[in-house]
Structure 1
Amino acid sequence: MSTFESRDHANEKHYVSTIVVVFGASGDLAHKKTFPALFQLFQAKLLPENFRIIGYARSLLERDVFVKKATSYIKAPADQVASFMEICEYMHGSYDNAEDFVKLRENIEAGEEKASSHKMERTSDNILKNRLRIYYMALPPSVFLPVSENVRKIVYNPEVENHLVVEKPFGFDQESSRVLNSQISKDWLEAEIFRTDHYLGKEMVKNIMALRFANTFYEAVWNKEHISNVQITFREPFGTEGRGGYFDQFGIIRDVMQNHLMQVLSILAMEQPASLNAEDVRDSKTAVLKCIPPIVLEETLLGQYTKSVDGTKPGYLDDDTVNKESNTPTFAEVAIHIDNDRWRGVPFIMKAAKAVDVAKVIVRIQFKDIEHSIIPKLARNELVIQISPEDKIYLKTIVKEPGLSSKLTLSDLNLSYSAVFDDSLIPEPYASLLLDVIGTDHSNFVRADELDEAWRIFTPILKRIENEKIVPLPYPYGSRGPEGESDFHIRFGHYKPRQLDYKWFSPEDRSGKYDANNKL
């Protein structure tokens, strides 16, 4: 199915019944992400007819406790929440007990039979016998494989459509990722597997393809002839906050860079796919990853946060669940190079940081200087794609200030989604991805070979950090990062303007300056 058609045609298969089994239904991921995402689709009337949700977990929960947990992060009128919970139920069961999976299978089959009987009462169209089962693994890696194997052996029905949704982390390095994929592939077809990276569900990440391939003036300059460097930055203003023991197993490179930010990079850098079909898109993403050599330590900056300057925020090693000798980075900045004709010589500077000064995920594409310009070098044009906290695209542009002088200033051409598309539904990433799972659109999910290439790029640097016990540089909680952070991207060609003021207005600032037609 085409990427840009899936929203309109997610329900075109007209399933007689669709059942989602949320494994790990009593856990944080299910409460914070999975159930709120399903509710958003329910509220928007995007779920298929005869849709059921079965929460499955080891915890023994009464119905009222399950309802309270499942709705704890849903903000909506009580009657709507109550209607949503009517299609939800909870089952207590082990992750390695065959008898519990037999009970799950019987529950699913009973629901499908009821839905089929109801459907046949209203139509004699025997074509409408499709049934969809979605097995959503909101589980820690330690129990994923036993659940996957038991579902395949006991619950799986080859006569219906089966979708397995897998949450990250997808392994710990290239070797463990290959083992995991090998074990999954013994039981499941690649077409049945949906490896979820929620960044692929973010509105502005999905927008990159439209921006590139639907606009002549962007695609015409999307190459080494015009672009000096590309920065992909992830910044969080909080630390591990109670999950230090978990984070310490992975670090910022595994937690954010190898998956989320590499997905953004692959869409930014790939060649135009043969079509918008899922496999063509994933072919293009994989192809560009194959052109990237492994990251080297000499082009890496690592940091680990310490307590804040005022002493109110603890350092990473102050967490009782973290090893006091841990060298796990909470800040990393790396230079990535793409050895192909489009990008050779253009550094992609990737940065991820926790416990820094601001919350922001942003892509900054800096263009080269104009050769032999009659105007002295003052600043470079930059295309900025802000992924969070606000969906925004803006183009930094040099203009003459109004008035009798010839003074130049730096301003922007700004598309803020909240101002322009204020009445549009911008779904949460998990809701968007779940709709793709229902619609069998793999475009925004990670394929096995694509995942393998991403691990190939990062595994050598991860091994060096661990084997050589590389000590990250300290930086205070709430700062910009470790010493050298401000100069790292300049080392790879990024140019900071120093002579120009920057005139920028937020949508709120501009609100009084627009007429009824949103024109100045």
Structure 2
Amino acid sequence: MATLYSSPSTHSSGAVASYSNTSIGLYNYHHNKQIAVSSILSRKFCSLQINQKPFWNAVRMQDGAVAIPPSKIENETPLKKLKNGISPVAPPKEQKDTIDFDSNKAKSTVSITVVGASGDLAKKKIFPALFALYYEGCLPEHFTIFGYARSKMTDAELRNMVSKTLTCRIDKRENCGEKMEQFLERCFYHSGQYDSQENFAELDKKLKEHEAGRFSNRLFYLSIPPNIFINAVRCASLSASSAHGWTRVIVEKPFGRDSESSAALTRSLKQYLNEDQIFRIDHYLGKELVENLSVLRFSNLIFEPLWSRQYIRNVQFIFSEDFGTEGRGGYFDHYGIIRDIMQNHLLQILALFAMETPVSLDAEDIRNEKVKVLRSMRPLQLDDVIIGQYKSHTKGDVAYPGYTDDKTVPKDSLTPTFAAAALFIDNARWDGVPFLMKAGKALHTRSAEIRVQFRHVPGNLYNKNFGSDLDQATNELVIRVQPNEAIYLKINNKVPGLGMRLDRSNLNLLYSARYSKEIPDAYERLLLDAIEGERRLFIRSDELDAAWSLFTPVLKELEDKKIVPEYYPYGSRGPIGAHYLAARYKVRWGDLV
């Protein structure tokens, strides 16, 4: 409760205080929650004490209510340890230790365990990202990195393996070799089975040795196949979670194959983890241009008024790779391009693009708006989907194999390596606007981009200058996510000269020309966020449920009816059916114009 310093005034919320002048909102001490205040007139500074803790910047409103700026909750629910089906609440001392851990970083440490350390993802992405964070000074003062896998390996062998993939940015070459050595000295290895509590207990013992009595935070990165996620989480939970600090787990996609398997995976994870400990990673959300989406839209007045059906004709999300599934055909055949790219990467970008303005930049506010958009979308219909599969093709003297030429892929496989789809959002802002997705492998180019095509100018005075093809005059905003990150706006412009000839020109922001600093890899951003507890770029379970509900029915229909994909040559622009799908909604693919 609150005790008074002078001139007391008691409010029904249970706060009592003295005064001086300004304000924010009301805090209810009985129920530990903020109360919205719609009208604040007279505002006075006051001081008060709650549970022996003084607040000097509290505020008294006109009606006598007391307001204090809400304190950020630093502690986090520790990893669940189940016993006889019961998940006990941490005792007060453990909760206090968690708070002390976060408030005194000099006495704390972070232990990062890469589970599946011998795999390609760990070698090519995770360890290099951790080194980049170390070079930039973004990791805590006290940290340790452990690789964990079934492969037999010494600390020295792990360091040798990791060192081959570490590089310094072009603009960060000073002391590069020295920094690498310092980083590798913090890297260790423990061999064990993913389903062995005993092996994880051995890991726990090693972690404690390096933590040296400091308060410990632990981050587990699961760089392993989804069929062994749960075993690893169970063993980490029961044998290697932090006793005092937080424990967080990064989970890589795929998050199931459909609504049912995804929900089952979530239920299994939540036997051992709370939702706020699960960091479902989609690395596309960590890409610079995707993260810039909300900045572009909400901090530039010229875009926000145009961001609706009144001005936007269609939106296209395009992903293409110029290589096939070589080396991972067996894995890919189990999922296909819709599950591998559309249901996660492209749909997450769509949700960020189309969401309403969030209340704040807080993770939960942003994710709440994304969920609203996903729940407003119609489930994808079979008529609005085109699938394809690449076949062998010879170009010059080079023969490129077809998808089913891969020995790990069944010869009669109908798994799509290409898909195009039209989706719709049934809300006031986007009603009737087609959101087109296109994703494929073994195409003519490698790129990922968002294309926003605006409506034609009504009664355009210059229509005759473009002839009958008004699409030639369409304004288009292009956000190129990769490669050569850029944002450009296509506008109509007069060609210099005495005549009246119009041309389309680009207002261009090419990142490499504008910014000298090399753009961080997406994994750097996401790993740093996980360490700092920032969740806005990670996927919440209700987001995942909403996403799968859009694609599960059509995926089931494609498989039950054994729909044969349209074949396209390796290195081509994809199946012709994608053009017919776009034409049905009076759209042209912007990347092919």
Q: TM-score, normalised by structure 1?
A: 0.89
Structure 2 residue 206 is matched with structure 1 residue 137 = no
Q: How many residues align?
A: 475
Counterpart pick for 1:468 among 529, 536, 561: 561
Counterpart pick for 2:384 among 291, 296, 299: 299
Which residue of structure 1 aligns with residue 193 of structure 2? 94
* Aligned ranges 1:476-491 → 2 under 5 Å: 476-491=569-584
Which residue of structure 2 aligns with residue 452 of structure 1? 545
Q: Which runs of 5+ in 2 are unaligned?
A: 1-70, 73-101, 169-175, 464-469
Counterpart pick for 1:361 among 441, 448, 456: 448
* Aligned ranges 1:327-342 → 2 under 5 Å: 327-342=414-429
Q: CA deviation at 1:73?
A: 2.1
Which residue of structure 1 aligns with residue 234 of structure 2? 149
Which residue of structure 2 aligns with residue 408 of structure 1? 502
Counterpart pick for 2:247 among 162, 169, 174: 162
Q: Deviations over 1:332-371 (max 9, x none)?
A: 0000000000000000000000000000101000000111
Structure number with larger C-alpha Rg: 2
Which residue of structure 2 aligns with residue 509 of structure 1? none
2:589 and 2:334 mapped to 1: Cα distance? Answer: 36
1:302 and 1:393 mapped to 2: Cα distance? Answer: 29
2:392 and 2:294 mapped to 1: Cα distance? Answer: 41
Look up the equivalent residue of 1:47 and give its one-letter code: L
Q: Secondary structure at the match of 2:270?
A: helix
More contact order relative to length (CA 8 Å, sep ≥ 6) = 1
Paired residues of 2:233 and 2:269 also in contact (CA < 8 A): yes
Q: CA deviation at 1:438?
A: 1.1
* Aligned ranges 1:202-241 → 2 under 5 Å: 202-241=287-326
Structure 2 residue 183 is matched with structure 1 residue 84 = yes
Which residue of structure 1 aligns with residue 370 of structure 2? 285
* Aligned ranges 1:21-420 → 2 under 5 Å: 21-76=113-168, 77-114=176-213, 116=214, 129=215, 131-310=216-395, 312-376=399-463, 377=470, 378-420=472-514
2:248 and 2:379 mapped to 1: Cα distance? Answer: 33
Paired residues of 2:309 and 2:432 also in contact (CA < 8 A): yes
Q: CA deviation at 1:152?
A: 0.8
1:449 and 1:328 mapped to 2: Cα distance? Answer: 28
Q: Secondary structure at the match of 2:302?
A: helix
Q: CA deviation at 1:71?
A: 2.6
1:98 and 1:231 mapped to 2: Cα distance? Answer: 47
Which residue of structure 1 aligns with residue 63 of structure 2? none
Paired residues of 1:356 and 1:478 also in contact (CA < 8 A): yes
Paired residues of 1:204 and 1:386 also in contact (CA < 8 A): yes
Paired residues of 2:384 and 2:421 also in contact (CA < 8 A): yes
Q: CA deviation at 1:485?
A: 2.8
Paired residues of 2:444 and 2:571 also in contact (CA < 8 A): yes
Paired residues of 2:155 and 2:187 also in contact (CA < 8 A): no
Paired residues of 2:149 and 2:191 also in contact (CA < 8 A): yes
Look up the equivalent residue of 2:501 and give its one-letter code: K
Q: CA deviation at 1:12?
A: 8.7
Q: Deviations over 1:176-204 (max 9, x none)?
A: 00000011112111111110000010000
2:112 and 2:300 mapped to 1: Cα distance? Answer: 38
Q: CA deviation at 1:284?
A: 0.3
Q: CA deviation at 1:65?
A: 2.5
Q: Secondary structure at the match of 1:290?
A: helix
2:446 and 2:462 mapped to 1: Cα distance? Answer: 36
1:43 and 1:487 mapped to 2: Cα distance? Answer: 50
Q: CA deviation at 1:495?
A: 4.9
Paired residues of 2:217 and 2:242 also in contact (CA < 8 A): no
Q: Secondary structure at the match of 2:212?
A: helix
1:164 and 1:144 mapped to 2: Cα distance? Answer: 10
2:148 and 2:234 mapped to 1: Cα distance? Answer: 16
Look up the equivalent residue of 1:381 and give its one-letter code: N
Q: Secondary structure at the match of 1:205?
A: helix
1:237 and 1:363 mapped to 2: Cα distance? Answer: 18
User: Residue 64 and residue 496 in structure 1: after superposition, are their counterparts in 2 closer, same or farther (change >3 A)?
Assistant: closer
Q: Secondary structure at the match of 2:147?
A: strand
Paired residues of 2:316 and 2:589 also in contact (CA < 8 A): no
Q: CA deviation at 1:491?
A: 2.4
Q: Deviations over 1:76-121 (max 9, x none)?
A: 444332221011001111112221111111112222225x3xxxxx
Q: CA deviation at 1:147?
A: 0.4
Q: CA deviation at 1:13?
A: 7.1
1:13 and 1:304 mapped to 2: Cα distance? Answer: 56
1:301 and 1:472 mapped to 2: Cα distance? Answer: 8
Which residue of structure 2 aligns with residue 5 of structure 1? none
Paired residues of 1:366 and 1:494 also in contact (CA < 8 A): no
Q: CA deviation at 1:488?
A: 2.9
Q: Deviations over 1:289-311 (max 9, x none)?
A: 00111111111111000001436
Q: Secondary structure at the match of 2:393?
A: coil
